[in-house]
Amino acid sequence: MTRTEAKRWQDSPDPGVREAAARVLAGRARVMAKSLPRRKDEAVEAESKADEDRRVRAACVERSAGHCEACGADRGPALHHDHFWGRGRDRSVEGSWMLCPPCDTKKTENVGGRLAWLLRFGLHVQIYAYGHQLAKVERHVGLERAQHPATEVP
């Protein structure tokens, strides 16, 4: 008996059919209750996302070895973890880098222009052979050059 049939048969005049239909529906309810996300599971998931952010940041801190990954300045704990494409778009180790406060400010304010920052990040991902990131940078560089053909690279 399917669940749809059970629903139809739960109003049957036959008590045996009604009983069988009730069993099917109860079983289905148990299955559904098991598959529903629990509040506890959601909390665990949220915590693991924070853990993931910490892990990504720690990996970037280690990779940078205390140096700004854009200009090379030795800044140690003053470095900022920057998600190049935006935190909502790419939270990976490959998609982020450690920046000294001046570079972080310049990037936020887009000093030098988007193309210059794309090329700087492109150099960084090339050093670490992050192929997927490099392909993404190249795509964006292509778009940027098509949109602003006169832009000079500093």
71 lines the binding site for Zn ion (CB under 5 A)? yes
Minimum CB–partner distance for residue 67 and Zn ion (Å): 8
Binding residue for Zn ion, selected from 60, 68, 116, 118, defined by CB under 5 A: 68
* Residues 64/69/73/77 CA torsion (nearest 10 deg): -40
Tokens encoding 85: 């494409």
Given a contact cutoff of 8 angstroms between Cβ atoms, the answer to whether 128 and 65 are in contact is no
- CA 141 to chain CA centroid, Å, is 22
Range 90-129, binding Zn ion (CB under 5 A) = 100, 103
Q: Taking contact as CB under 5 A, which single stretch among the options 1-9, 40-48, 50-58, 68-76 is the one that binds Zn ion?
A: 68-76
Binding residue for Zn ion, selected from 21, 56, 70, 118, defined by CB under 5 A: 70
Using the CB atoms, write b or e for 67-83: b if 16+ within 10 Å: bbbbeebebeeebbbbb
Minimum CB–partner distance for residue 80 and Zn ion (Å): 10
Range 11-50, binding Zn ion (CB under 5 A) = none
| CB-based contacts of 52, cutoff 8 Å, min separation 6 | 91
18 versus 81: smaller Cβ distance to Zn ion: 81
**Interface residue list for Zn ion (CB under 5 A):** 68, 70-71, 73, 100, 103
